[in-house]
Copies of this chain bind each other. A is one copy, B any other.
Protein backbone atom coordinates (compact mmCIF):
# COMPACT_ATOMS: atom_id res chain seq x y z
CA UNK A 1 0.00 0.00 0.00
CA UNK A 2 2.80 2.36 0.90
CA UNK A 3 4.47 1.63 -2.42
CA UNK A 4 1.27 2.10 -4.35
CA UNK A 5 0.85 5.50 -2.78
CA UNK A 6 4.44 6.45 -3.62
CA UNK A 7 4.06 5.37 -7.22
CA UNK A 8 1.07 7.54 -7.84
CA UNK A 9 2.21 10.55 -5.84
CA UNK A 10 2.40 13.79 -7.82
CA UNK A 11 5.95 15.14 -7.57
CA UNK A 12 6.70 18.84 -7.09
CA UNK A 13 10.23 19.49 -8.30
CA UNK A 14 11.84 22.48 -6.55
CA UNK A 15 15.42 21.53 -7.57
CA UNK A 16 17.86 24.38 -8.15
CA UNK A 17 19.17 22.90 -11.39
CA UNK A 18 18.94 20.74 -13.36
CA UNK A 19 15.34 21.59 -12.70
CA UNK A 20 11.73 21.44 -13.68
CA UNK A 21 10.69 21.82 -17.31
CA UNK A 22 7.22 21.86 -18.89
CA UNK A 23 5.72 18.35 -19.13
CA UNK A 24 5.08 18.85 -22.85
CA UNK A 25 8.82 19.38 -23.38
CA UNK A 26 9.62 16.03 -21.78
CA UNK A 27 6.95 14.35 -23.89
CA UNK A 28 8.15 15.79 -27.17
CA UNK A 29 11.82 15.17 -26.35
CA UNK A 30 11.03 11.58 -25.40
CA UNK A 31 9.30 11.00 -28.73
CA UNK A 32 12.15 12.62 -30.69
CA UNK A 33 14.56 10.07 -29.29
CA UNK A 34 12.51 7.26 -30.76
CA UNK A 35 11.76 9.03 -34.03
CA UNK A 36 12.39 12.61 -35.07
CA UNK A 37 10.45 14.56 -37.63
CA UNK A 38 8.88 11.52 -39.26
CA UNK A 39 12.20 10.44 -40.74
CA UNK A 40 12.29 6.96 -39.28
CA UNK A 41 15.37 7.77 -37.18
CA UNK A 42 16.16 9.09 -33.73
CA UNK A 43 17.14 12.73 -33.20
CA UNK A 44 20.31 11.31 -31.64
CA UNK A 45 21.48 9.45 -34.75
CA UNK A 46 20.92 11.96 -37.55
CA UNK A 47 23.68 14.17 -38.89
CA UNK A 48 23.90 17.60 -37.30
CA UNK A 49 24.31 18.88 -40.87
CA UNK A 50 21.00 17.36 -41.98
CA UNK A 51 18.10 19.68 -42.76
CA UNK A 52 15.93 18.48 -39.86
CA UNK A 53 18.60 19.40 -37.31
CA UNK A 54 19.64 22.58 -39.13
CA UNK A 55 16.00 23.62 -38.77
CA UNK A 56 16.22 23.01 -35.01
CA UNK A 57 19.38 25.07 -34.76
CA UNK A 58 17.90 27.89 -36.84
CA UNK A 59 14.73 27.97 -34.76
CA UNK A 60 16.71 27.94 -31.50
CA UNK A 61 18.73 30.96 -32.63
CA UNK A 62 15.62 32.75 -33.92
CA UNK A 63 13.72 32.18 -30.68
CA UNK A 64 16.53 33.79 -28.65
CA UNK A 65 16.34 36.85 -30.90
CA UNK A 66 12.57 36.96 -30.62
CA UNK A 67 12.23 36.33 -26.87
CA UNK A 68 14.98 38.82 -25.98
CA UNK A 69 14.06 41.36 -28.65
CA UNK A 70 17.61 41.36 -30.00
CA UNK A 71 18.70 43.54 -32.89
CA UNK A 72 21.24 42.43 -35.47
CA UNK A 73 23.90 44.13 -33.33
CA UNK A 74 23.79 41.03 -31.16
CA UNK A 75 25.04 37.58 -32.06
CA UNK A 76 23.69 34.36 -30.54
CA UNK A 77 25.65 31.13 -30.09
CA UNK A 78 25.06 27.84 -28.32
CA UNK A 79 28.26 26.56 -26.74
CA UNK A 80 29.19 23.95 -24.12
CA UNK A 81 31.07 23.91 -20.83
CA UNK A 82 28.53 25.78 -18.73
CA UNK A 83 28.87 29.17 -17.07
CA UNK A 84 32.09 27.88 -15.50
CA UNK A 85 33.70 27.92 -18.94
CA UNK A 86 32.41 31.44 -19.57
CA UNK A 87 34.19 32.58 -16.40
CA UNK A 88 37.47 32.34 -18.34
CA UNK A 89 36.20 32.58 -21.92
CA UNK A 90 34.69 36.03 -21.33
CA UNK A 91 37.88 37.74 -20.09
CA UNK A 92 40.04 35.79 -22.55
CA UNK A 93 37.94 37.26 -25.40
CA UNK A 94 37.36 40.72 -23.95
CA UNK A 95 40.37 41.78 -21.84
CA UNK A 96 43.96 42.38 -22.79
CA UNK A 97 46.60 41.65 -20.16
CA UNK A 98 46.33 44.25 -17.42
CA UNK A 99 43.04 45.74 -18.60
CA UNK A 100 40.48 46.34 -15.90
CA UNK A 101 36.99 44.91 -15.57
CA UNK A 102 34.55 45.45 -12.72
CA UNK A 103 33.03 42.49 -10.94
CA UNK A 104 30.16 42.51 -8.48
CA UNK A 105 30.87 39.75 -5.97
CA UNK A 106 27.45 38.40 -5.05
CA UNK A 107 28.21 34.73 -4.45
CA UNK A 108 30.51 31.81 -5.05
CA UNK A 109 29.84 31.81 -8.81
CA UNK A 110 30.77 35.49 -9.06
CA UNK A 111 33.91 34.73 -7.02
CA UNK A 112 34.86 31.99 -9.46
CA UNK A 113 34.37 34.39 -12.36
CA UNK A 114 36.74 36.85 -10.65
CA UNK A 115 39.35 34.14 -10.10
CA UNK A 116 39.38 33.18 -13.79
CA UNK A 117 39.46 36.81 -14.96
CA UNK A 118 42.77 37.24 -13.14
CA UNK A 119 44.40 34.93 -15.69
CA UNK A 120 43.64 37.34 -18.53
CA UNK A 121 43.12 40.82 -17.10
CA UNK A 122 42.68 42.88 -13.98
CA UNK A 123 39.32 42.24 -12.32
CA UNK A 124 38.32 44.84 -9.74
CA UNK A 125 35.67 44.10 -7.17
CA UNK A 126 33.13 46.90 -7.46
CA UNK A 127 31.18 45.62 -4.48
CA UNK A 128 30.92 42.48 -2.39
CA UNK A 129 28.57 40.95 0.15
CA UNK A 130 30.98 38.17 1.04
CA UNK A 131 31.16 39.25 4.70
CA UNK A 132 27.41 38.72 5.01
CA UNK A 133 27.48 35.31 3.34
CA UNK A 134 26.13 37.01 0.21
CA UNK A 135 22.68 37.58 1.70
CA UNK A 136 22.25 40.91 -0.09
CA UNK A 137 23.25 42.67 -3.32
CA UNK A 138 25.86 45.41 -2.76
CA UNK A 139 24.49 48.83 -3.70
CA UNK A 140 27.36 51.13 -2.76
CA UNK A 141 29.73 50.47 -5.65
CA UNK A 142 33.25 51.57 -6.53
CA UNK A 143 33.14 52.29 -10.23
CA UNK A 144 36.48 52.58 -12.01
CA UNK A 145 35.59 54.32 -15.29
CA UNK A 146 38.55 52.70 -17.05
CA UNK A 147 37.04 49.23 -16.77
CA UNK A 148 36.09 47.66 -20.08
CA UNK A 149 32.98 45.97 -18.72
CA UNK A 150 31.12 45.31 -15.50
CA UNK A 151 30.31 41.69 -14.68
CA UNK A 152 27.13 40.86 -12.80
CA UNK A 153 25.45 37.63 -11.74
CA UNK A 154 21.80 38.52 -12.24
CA UNK A 155 20.48 35.84 -9.87
CA UNK A 156 22.39 34.04 -7.14
CA UNK A 157 20.96 30.53 -6.96
CA UNK A 158 22.66 29.49 -3.73
CA UNK A 159 21.68 32.52 -1.63
CA UNK A 160 18.36 33.48 -3.19
CA UNK A 161 19.26 37.03 -4.16
CA UNK A 162 18.53 38.73 -7.45
CA UNK A 163 19.56 41.94 -9.15
CA UNK A 164 16.42 44.12 -9.29
CA UNK A 165 18.29 47.16 -10.60
CA UNK A 166 21.11 47.62 -13.08
CA UNK A 167 24.20 49.71 -12.35
CA UNK A 168 24.24 53.11 -14.02
CA UNK A 169 27.65 52.77 -15.63
CA UNK A 170 29.12 53.83 -18.94
CA UNK A 171 30.75 50.51 -19.73
CA UNK A 172 28.72 47.53 -21.01
CA UNK A 173 27.37 44.99 -18.56
CA UNK A 174 28.47 41.36 -18.87
CA UNK A 175 25.95 39.14 -17.15
CA UNK A 176 25.76 35.54 -15.96
CA UNK A 177 22.01 34.93 -16.35
CA UNK A 178 22.21 31.17 -15.80
CA UNK A 179 19.45 31.04 -13.23
CA UNK A 180 17.01 33.69 -14.39
CA UNK A 181 17.30 33.91 -18.15
CA UNK A 182 13.92 34.31 -19.88
CA UNK A 183 12.28 34.93 -16.48
CA UNK A 184 11.91 38.72 -16.91
CA UNK A 185 12.65 41.66 -19.15
CA UNK A 186 15.80 43.74 -18.80
CA UNK A 187 17.24 46.85 -20.48
CA UNK A 188 19.10 45.19 -23.31
CA UNK A 189 20.96 48.36 -24.32
CA UNK A 190 23.05 48.17 -21.13
CA UNK A 191 24.34 44.68 -21.93
CA UNK A 192 27.37 43.77 -24.01
CA UNK A 193 27.43 40.05 -23.29
CA UNK A 194 25.00 37.64 -21.63
CA UNK A 195 25.63 33.98 -20.90
CA UNK A 196 23.59 31.22 -19.32
CA UNK A 197 23.95 27.51 -18.71
CA UNK A 198 20.73 25.99 -20.00
CA UNK A 199 19.92 23.68 -17.10
CA UNK A 200 17.94 26.04 -14.89
CA UNK A 201 15.45 28.09 -16.83
CA UNK A 202 16.21 27.19 -20.43
CA UNK A 203 16.53 23.44 -20.86
CA UNK A 204 18.66 20.43 -20.11
CA UNK A 205 22.28 20.42 -18.97
CA UNK A 206 24.78 20.39 -21.81
CA UNK A 207 24.59 23.68 -23.63
CA UNK A 208 25.39 27.30 -22.79
CA UNK A 209 23.77 30.27 -24.46
CA UNK A 210 25.98 33.27 -25.23
CA UNK A 211 24.55 36.54 -26.56
CA UNK A 212 27.20 39.09 -27.47
CA UNK A 213 27.09 42.54 -29.01
CA UNK A 214 29.30 42.55 -32.09
CA UNK A 215 31.37 45.57 -31.06
CA UNK A 216 32.59 43.74 -27.93
CA UNK A 217 34.73 41.40 -30.03
CA UNK A 218 38.00 41.82 -31.90
CA UNK A 219 39.55 44.06 -29.27
CA UNK A 220 42.06 41.70 -27.63
CA UNK A 221 45.48 41.19 -29.13
CA UNK A 222 46.16 37.72 -27.75
CA UNK A 223 45.82 34.70 -29.99
CA UNK A 224 42.75 32.68 -29.05
CA UNK A 225 42.39 28.93 -29.51
CA UNK A 226 39.82 28.43 -32.25
CA UNK A 227 37.17 26.92 -29.97
CA UNK A 228 37.59 29.74 -27.41
CA UNK A 229 37.13 32.57 -29.92
CA UNK A 230 33.44 33.51 -29.93
CA UNK A 231 33.81 34.57 -33.57
CA UNK A 232 34.45 30.96 -34.59
CA UNK A 233 31.00 29.97 -33.40
CA UNK A 234 29.29 33.14 -34.64
CA UNK A 235 30.75 32.65 -38.12
CA UNK A 236 29.62 29.02 -38.18
CA UNK A 237 26.14 29.35 -36.70
CA UNK A 238 27.12 27.36 -33.57
CA UNK A 239 28.14 24.49 -35.88
CA UNK A 240 31.92 24.83 -36.20
CA UNK A 241 32.08 21.38 -34.68
CA UNK A 242 29.37 18.88 -33.73
CA UNK A 243 27.08 20.77 -31.34
CA UNK A 244 25.35 19.18 -28.34
CA UNK A 245 22.36 18.18 -30.45
CA UNK A 246 19.92 17.03 -27.79
CA UNK A 247 20.49 19.82 -25.22
CA UNK A 248 20.04 22.44 -27.96
CA UNK A 249 16.85 20.72 -29.12
CA UNK A 250 15.46 20.76 -25.57
CA UNK A 251 16.29 24.47 -25.21
CA UNK A 252 14.47 25.08 -28.48
CA UNK A 253 11.39 23.26 -27.10
CA UNK A 254 11.52 25.27 -23.86
CA UNK A 255 11.76 28.55 -25.78
CA UNK A 256 8.82 27.49 -27.95
CA UNK A 257 6.86 26.95 -24.74
CA UNK A 258 7.84 30.37 -23.37
CA UNK A 259 6.68 31.96 -26.60
CA UNK A 260 3.40 30.07 -26.41
CA UNK A 261 2.93 31.25 -22.82
CA UNK A 262 3.11 34.85 -24.04
CA UNK A 263 6.84 35.54 -24.01
CA UNK A 264 9.22 36.89 -21.42
CA UNK A 265 6.99 39.68 -20.09
CA UNK A 266 4.19 37.19 -19.47
CA UNK A 267 6.65 34.90 -17.66
CA UNK A 268 7.79 37.87 -15.56
CA UNK A 269 4.25 38.64 -14.41
CA UNK A 270 3.61 34.99 -13.58
CA UNK A 271 6.94 34.69 -11.77
CA UNK A 272 6.22 37.77 -9.67
CA UNK A 273 2.86 36.39 -8.65
CA UNK A 274 4.27 32.94 -7.87
CA UNK A 275 7.12 34.29 -5.75
CA UNK A 276 4.75 36.56 -3.83
CA UNK A 277 2.66 33.59 -2.70
CA UNK A 278 5.67 31.92 -1.12
CA UNK A 279 7.33 35.03 0.33
CA UNK A 280 4.00 36.17 1.80
CA UNK A 281 3.71 32.87 3.65
CA UNK A 282 7.34 33.05 4.84
CA UNK A 283 6.66 36.55 6.22
CA UNK A 284 3.30 35.62 7.73
CA UNK A 285 4.17 32.25 9.25
CA UNK A 286 5.93 32.75 12.60
CA UNK A 287 7.83 29.45 12.21
CA UNK A 288 9.70 30.53 9.08
CA UNK A 289 11.91 33.42 8.02
CA UNK A 290 13.68 34.48 4.84
CA UNK A 291 17.48 34.55 4.70
CA UNK A 292 18.11 37.53 2.41
CA UNK A 293 17.61 41.27 2.35
CA UNK A 294 13.95 41.77 1.47
CA UNK A 295 14.65 44.14 -1.42
CA UNK A 296 17.03 41.63 -3.05
CA UNK A 297 14.81 38.57 -2.86
CA UNK A 298 15.04 36.28 -5.85
CA UNK A 299 11.91 35.31 -7.76
CA UNK A 300 13.67 32.15 -8.88
CA UNK A 301 15.20 30.71 -5.69
CA UNK A 302 13.39 31.32 -2.43
CA UNK A 303 15.67 30.65 0.56
CA UNK A 304 14.25 30.34 4.06
CA UNK A 305 14.99 28.77 7.42
CA UNK A 306 12.97 28.03 10.55
CA UNK A 307 13.08 30.20 13.64
CA UNK A 308 13.71 26.96 15.52
CA UNK A 309 16.26 25.00 13.46
CA UNK A 310 15.48 21.82 15.40
CA UNK A 311 12.13 21.68 13.61
CA UNK A 312 13.63 21.73 10.12
CA UNK A 313 14.03 17.98 9.85
CA UNK A 314 10.37 17.41 10.70
CA UNK A 315 9.21 19.91 8.10
CA UNK A 316 11.53 18.39 5.51
CA UNK A 317 10.02 14.98 6.19
CA UNK A 318 6.49 16.34 5.88
CA UNK A 319 7.41 17.99 2.58
CA UNK A 320 9.00 14.83 1.19
CA UNK A 321 6.00 12.76 2.21
CA UNK A 322 3.87 15.08 0.08
CA UNK A 323 5.94 14.85 -3.08
CA UNK A 324 8.02 18.00 -2.52
CA UNK A 325 11.46 17.34 -3.99
CA UNK A 326 14.68 19.37 -3.97
CA UNK A 327 13.96 21.97 -1.25
CA UNK A 328 17.01 21.27 0.89
CA UNK A 329 18.96 24.53 1.14
CA UNK A 330 22.53 24.74 -0.13
CA UNK A 331 24.97 23.66 2.59
CA UNK A 332 26.41 27.16 2.80
CA UNK A 333 23.02 28.64 3.76
CA UNK A 334 21.14 25.71 5.31
CA UNK A 335 17.39 25.44 5.77
CA UNK A 336 15.31 25.37 2.63
CA UNK A 337 15.51 26.59 -0.93
CA UNK A 338 12.49 26.42 -3.19
CA UNK A 339 13.50 26.98 -6.80
CA UNK A 340 10.49 28.21 -8.70
CA UNK A 341 11.65 28.64 -12.28
CA UNK A 342 9.41 29.46 -15.24
CA UNK A 343 8.03 25.94 -15.51
CA UNK A 344 7.05 25.64 -11.84
CA UNK A 345 3.24 25.70 -11.66
CA UNK A 346 1.57 27.92 -9.07
CA UNK A 347 -0.30 24.84 -7.85
CA UNK A 348 2.96 23.26 -6.66
CA UNK A 349 3.90 26.41 -4.78
CA UNK A 350 0.46 26.31 -3.20
CA UNK A 351 1.10 22.73 -2.03
CA UNK A 352 4.29 23.92 -0.30
CA UNK A 353 2.54 26.92 1.27
CA UNK A 354 -0.31 24.72 2.50
CA UNK A 355 2.22 22.39 4.13
CA UNK A 356 3.85 25.37 5.88
CA UNK A 357 0.41 26.31 7.25
CA UNK A 358 -0.34 22.73 8.28
CA UNK A 359 3.00 22.55 10.03
CA UNK A 360 2.24 25.78 11.89
CA UNK A 361 -1.07 24.29 13.08
CA UNK A 362 0.53 21.14 14.43
CA UNK A 363 3.91 22.53 15.56
CA UNK A 364 3.26 26.21 16.22
A-to-B contact residues, CB < 8 Å: 7, 9-11, 13, 15-21, 26-27, 29-31, 33-34, 38-42, 44-48, 80-85, 87-88, 92, 112, 115-116, 119, 197, 199, 204-207, 223, 225-228, 240-247, 250, 323, 325-326
Q: Can you list 22 contacts pairing A with B, beta carbon distance less than 8 Å?
A: A7-B38, A15-B45, A15-B47, A17-B242, A21-B45, A30-B30, A30-B33, A30-B34, A40-B323, A47-B326, A80-B80, A82-B242, A83-B241, A87-B226, A88-B226, A112-B226, A116-B227, A119-B225, A204-B246, A205-B243, A244-B244, A244-B247
Contacts of A247 in B (CB 8 A): 206, 244, 246-247
Q: Most chain-B CB neighbours within 10 Å: which of A15, A21, A112?
A: A15
Pick the contact of A45 from B9, B18, B206, B246 — CB < 8 Å? B18
Q: Are A16 and B47 in contact (CB under 8 A)?
A: yes
Pick the contact of A42 from B17, B21, B84, B87 — CB < 8 Å? B21
**Nearest Cβ on chain B to A230's Cβ, whole angstroms:** 14
- How far, in angstroms, from A7 to B10 measured CA to CA in the complex? 37
- How far, in angstroms, from A206 to B7 measured CA to CA in the complex? 32
Q: Are A204 and B17 in contact (CB under 8 A)?
A: no
Q: Are A250 and B81 in contact (CB under 8 A)?
A: no
Q: Are A227 and B85 in contact (CB under 8 A)?
A: yes
Pick the contact of A80 from B10, B16, B26, B81 — CB < 8 Å? B81
Contacts of A207 in B (CB 8 A): 206
Q: Are A48 and B205 in contact (CB under 8 A)?
A: yes
**Nearest Cβ on chain B to A221's Cβ, whole angstroms:** 14
Q: Are A29 and B33 in contact (CB under 8 A)?
A: yes
Contacts of A48 in B (CB 8 A): 18, 205
Contacts of A326 in B (CB 8 A): 47
Contacts of A40 in B (CB 8 A): 7, 9-11, 323
Q: Are A41 and B119 in contact (CB under 8 A)?
A: no
Contacts of A242 in B (CB 8 A): 17-18, 82, 197, 199, 205
- How far, in angstroms, from A197 to B82 measured CA to CA in the complex? 17
A205 and B245 in contact, given A34-B30, A41-B325 (Cβ under 8 angstroms): yes
**Nearest Cβ on chain B to A260's Cβ, whole angstroms:** 19
Q: Most chain-B CB neighbours within 10 Å: which of A15, A85, A206, A243?
A: A206
Please give me the residue from chain B that is nearest to A8 by CB atom: B40
- How far, in angstroms, from A70 to B300 measured CA to CA in the complex? 44
Q: Are A88 and B41 in contact (CB under 8 A)?
A: no
Besides A18-B242, A33-B33, A116-B226, 13 new A-B residue pairs in contact (Cβ under 8 A), listed by A number: A15-B46, A16-B47, A26-B33, A29-B44, A30-B31, A81-B227, A82-B241, A87-B227, A88-B226, A197-B242, A199-B245, A206-B207, A206-B244
Contacts of A82 in B (CB 8 A): 80, 241-242
Q: Are B84 and A240 in contact (CB under 8 A)?
A: yes
**Nearest Cβ on chain B to A348's Cβ, whole angstroms:** 12
Q: Are B19 and A45 in contact (CB under 8 A)?
A: yes
